[in-house]
Amino acid sequence: MYRKAQAWLGNLLTWGQLRQTETAEKLYAEAIRLARQPAYFDRFKVADDVDGRFDMLSLMVALIMRRLRQTGVSGRVLSQQLFDTMFADMDLSLREMGAGDIGVSKRVRVMAEAFIGRLDAYLVAIEAADRAALSAALTRNLFRGNSHVDPLDNGLVDAIFELVGKLDDSDDAVLLDGRITTV
C-alpha cells in the first residue's frame, strides 16, 4: 500500500513538472509572438537580423519574467522555467545551425550572461519608471550602440512602458496558464 501511494505521489509530482514545462513553452511561444511584431522592426528600427531578433526576444522574455515574479511562488518557478525554455531553444537552434557541442555550450553561456545583464538593466529602469535609463539600456543592447536610433524619440520606450502596463493588468491565473491575452 505504501509503495502504491509513493508511486501515485511520484506520478502526481511528475505531472506537475510536465504541466509547468508545457506552460513555460506556451509563454515562450507568446514571447516569440510579441517579439516578432512588425512594428518593432519597421517603425522602431530594430535590426531584422539574428542579433536584433535575439535582443527583441530577450526583452519580451524579460518583461514576461518580471510579471511572473509578481504572482508569487508559482510565478517565480515558472519564470525560471521560461528562462530554461528560452536557452534550451537557443541551444537547439545553434545545433541546427551546425555548431559543435563545445561551441554550443560556450555560446549559450555567453547568451545567457548577456540576457541576465539585459534583464537587470531593463527591470531596474522599468521599476523606477525611468524612461531615460530604459532608453539607454535599449540603445546599448537592442540597438547595439547605434547612435542613429533613439528609442526615446522614436516611441519605443513608450511602447515598452505601454506593454508593461498591459502585462501588469493581466490576470494572474491566465498568465500562470501560459497565456498573454492583453497584447
Phi, psi angle pair for 105, to nearest 5°: -60, -40
How far apart, in whole angstroms, are the C-alpha atoms of residue 147 and residue 152?
12
Give 12-26 pLDDT, tens digit per residue. 554 444 556 899 999
Grid cell 509563454 is found at 27
- Could you tell me the three cell numbers for 110? 555567453
Instruction: Give, rounded to a whole angstrom, the gap between the first and last alpha carbons of the chain.
Output: 50
Average pLDDT taken over every residue of the chain: 88
Q: What is the DSSP string of 14-75?
A: HHHHHHHHHHHHHHHHHHHHHHT-HHHHHTS----SHHHHHHHHHHHHHHHHHHHHTT-HHH
Highest-pLDDT range among 85-94, 105-114, 163-172: 163-172
- pLDDT at 122 exceeding the cut of 70: yes
Give 21-67 pLDDT, tens digit per residue. 899 999 999 999 999 999 999 999 999 998 999 999 999 999 999 99
- pLDDT at 101 exceeding the cut of 90: no
Contacts for 3 with CB less than 8 Å, ≥ 6 apart: none
**What percentage of the chain exceeds 90 in pLDDT?**
71
- pLDDT at 130 exceeding the cut of 50: yes
Q: What is the pLDDT of residue 91?
A: 79
Q: What is the pLDDT of residue 109?
A: 87
